[in-house]
């Protein structure tokens, strides 16, 4: 089966799956791990191994966002089909991290949903503590905070640290009572059923501010758990730049007052 036939097959499976039933697994997984992938050849197999080692009932949903460095081939040849928990969806052209997450939300079949970058900045074993918070039925949203273990996370550039502080403070000012310590964290966990109801538009790095504002405006508290984090450098493939914070900042304002939420 070629890459495109495989992609069509995957999408057919997703269309045929009624409601939120999983197309392969017999029972609904606890956690959908959504992995947006754009040119992450150096870390893809290692992050895959680390995700597989998490002692939770997972489904792992890779969305290749038009990679051209061989990540797509690794996904197809060395990851897809090797484990019933794994599904791969392909974007023909690069659309942005937010777009890749939105594709994952459409396909997600788990009770809970988390975003996992295809790099090694975060520690997948932290899912366990994040998921535990959902033992309380009223909890809808849990963020892993990089700033609760240490004030300045490992290897985080000063400009990025400052951008993170500004985005978090802005959120807390725009939504009094939000009380969060890390708005832009990748480890955002939601009840999937609730997440699928949120109207989302962001295609790029504005996914974080959009979802943060919208869940808060929908009246959900954001609970937090301390997590490990070690930033990668641009040379190691980090793509977000501190200038992306301008977009994130204006997205926070826009989605604080948008009509739909």
Site for ligand GDP, rule CB under 6 A: 36-38, 40, 65, 94, 96-97, 100, 117-119, 121, 186, 238-240
CB of 64 to ligand GDP, least distance (A): 8
CB neighbourhood size of 254 (10 A): 15
Q: What does 240 bind: Mg ion, ligand GDP, none (CB cut-off 5 to 8 Å by kind)?
A: ligand GDP
Measured from the CB atom, the residue of 116 and 140 that comes closer to Mg ion is 116
119 sits near Mg ion (criterion: CB under 5 A)? yes
Q: What does 182 bind: ligand GDP, Mg ion, none (CB cut-off 5 to 8 Å by kind)?
A: none
Cα–Cα distance measured from residue 153 to residue 196, given in angstroms and rounded to the nearest whole number: 31
Q: What does 126 bind: Mg ion, ligand GDP, none (CB cut-off 5 to 8 Å by kind)?
A: none
CB of 5 to Mg ion, least distance (A): 31
Residue 242 near residue 162, CB atoms below 8 Å: yes
Measured from the CB atom, the residue of 64 and 117 that comes closer to Mg ion is 117
89 beta partners: 63
CB of 253 to ligand GDP, least distance (A): 20
CB neighbourhood size of 172 (10 A): 15
Measured from the CB atom, the residue of 8 and 236 that comes closer to Mg ion is 236
Measured from the CB atom, the residue of 37 and 58 that comes closer to ligand GDP is 37
């Amino acid at each position: 089966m070629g890459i495109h036939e495989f992609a069509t097959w995957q999408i057919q499976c997703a269309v045929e799956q009624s409601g939120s039933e999983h197309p392969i697994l017999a029972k609904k997984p606890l956690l959908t791990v959504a992995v947006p992938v754009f040119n992450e050849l150096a870390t893809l197999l290692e992050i895959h191994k680390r995700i597989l080692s998490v002692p939770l009932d997972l489904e792992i949903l890779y969305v290749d966002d038009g990679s051209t460095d061989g990540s797509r081939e690794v996904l197809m040849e060395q990851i897809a089909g090797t484990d019933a928990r794994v599904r791969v969806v392909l974007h023909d052209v690069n659309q942005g991290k937010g777009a890749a997450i939105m594709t994952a939300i459409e396909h997600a079949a788990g009770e809970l949903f988390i975003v996992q970058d295809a790099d090694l900045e975060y520690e997948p074993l932290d899912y366990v503590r994040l998921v535990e918070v959902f033992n309380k039925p009223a909890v809808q949203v849990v963020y892993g905070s990089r700033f609760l273990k240490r004030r300045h996370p490992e290897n985080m550039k000063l400009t990025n640290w400052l951008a993170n502080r500004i985005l978090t403070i802005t959120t807390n000012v725009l939504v009094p009572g939000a009380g969060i310590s890390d708005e832009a964290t990748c480890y955002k966990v939601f009840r999937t059923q609730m997440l699928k109801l949120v109207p989302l538009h962001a295609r790029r790095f504005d996914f974080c501010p959009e979802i943060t504002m919208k869940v808060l405006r929908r009246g959900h508290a954001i609970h937090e758990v301390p997590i490990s984090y070690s930033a990668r450098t641009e040379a190691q493939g980090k793509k977000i730049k501190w200038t992306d914070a301008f977009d994130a900042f204006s997205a926070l304002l826009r989605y604080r007052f948008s009509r739909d939420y």
